[in-house]
């Protein structure tokens, strides 16, 4: 409960929260207008709000399309490999049944490390971030090589290194895209941009989970 109170206080100091607090205070009081019907003497009272300019969803989607594409590709690649491939396909005579558990632990730790790393260094170029997301497609042939390639690639060290890099890049690119997308639009549309990014993240998760299921089959 104490943590929730502290987080609540911190949230109130964020620029985005202050922006919307100001917006609410600027909305004028609801007023009514009597509109006479040209063909009758009946009057109707309408409640009219002062219009607030909002970006159309489609226009906003086009503005953040590269960020959205990046998050979709990132999660398709990640979830088509993890946890399906890691839990079902890898084998170790040394670690035996602990091998998949250790790999999953390594992935989660490196994923967290990647998310935290954005607080020290944030890649601000959407071009570089997009290419990094596309470059993650190389994980497919690399993990396939660990499964069907030379015997030395099927050992524990290459798989552990690839799993670590998979988690690290997933965490870093996810945080980077989620940070940059709302900043790439007007402040009034940043919340909507964040919601759209979560939608595309969900699309990537569904696509990756489906491909991971096919990989297991």
Q: CA 97 to CA 113: how far, in whole Å? A: 26
Provide, rounded to the nearest whole percent, the portion of the chain with pLDDT above 70: 80
Asked whether the predicted pLDDT for residue 35 surpasses 50, the reply is: no
**Rounded Cα–Cα distance for residues 55 and 206 (Å):** 27
Q: 111: closest CA among 165, 178, 180, 70?
A: 165
Residue 40 lies in a domain: no
Considering the domain boundaries, does residue 139 fall inside one?
A: yes
Supply angle C-alpha 86, 215, 149, rounded to 5: 65
Residue 31 covered by a domain = no
What is the number of H-type helices and E-type strands within the chain? 10, 2
Quick one: average pLDDT of 145-169? 87
Q: Are 179 and 118 in contact (CB under 8 A)?
A: yes
Query: Which pTM value belongs to this model?
Result: 0.74
At residue 1 the predicted structure's pLDDT band, cuts being 50, 70 and 90, is: low
Averaged over 185-206, what is the pLDDT? Answer: 91
Question: How many domains is the chain built from?
Answer: 1
- For residues 132-156, average pLDDT: 87
Question: Domain limits at 132?
Answer: 57-216
Helix (H) or strand (E) holding 156, with range, is: helix 156-183
Residue with tokens 């690649």: 77
- The C-alpha atoms of residue 74 and residue 208 are separated, in whole angstroms, by 9
Residue 8 lies in a domain: no
> What pLDDT was estimated at residue 113?
97
Highest mean pLDDT among 2-11, 41-50, 109-118: 109-118
What pLDDT is stored for residue 27 in this prediction? Answer: 56
């Amino acid at each position: 409960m104490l943590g929730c109170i502290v987080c609540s206080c911190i949230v109130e100091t964020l620029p985005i929260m202050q922006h919307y607090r100001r917006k609410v205070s600027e909305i004028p009081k609801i007023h009514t207008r009597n509109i006479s019907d040209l063909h009758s003497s009946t009057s109707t009272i309408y409640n009219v709000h002062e219009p607030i300019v909002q970006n159309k969803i489609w226009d906003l989607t086009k503005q953040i399309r590269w960020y959205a594409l990046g998050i979709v590709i990132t999660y398709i690649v990640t979830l088509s490999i993890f946890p399906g491939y890691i839990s079902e396909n890898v084998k170790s005579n040394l670690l035996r049944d602990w091998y998949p558990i250790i790999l999953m632990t390594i992935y989660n730790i490196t994923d967290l490390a990647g998310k935290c790393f954005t607080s020290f260094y944030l890649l601000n170029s959407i071009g570089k971030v997009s290419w990094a997301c596309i470059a993650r497609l190389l994980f497919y042939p690399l993990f396939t090589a660990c499964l069907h390639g030379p015997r030395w690639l099927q050992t524990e060290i290459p798989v552990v290194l690839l799993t670590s890099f998979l988690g690290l890049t997933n965490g870093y690119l996810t945080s980077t895209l989620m940070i940059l997308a709302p900043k790439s639009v007007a402040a009034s549309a940043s919340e909507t941009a964040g919601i759209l990014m979560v939608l595309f993240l969900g699309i990537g998760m569904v696509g990756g989970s489906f491909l991971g299921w096919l990989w297991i089959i």
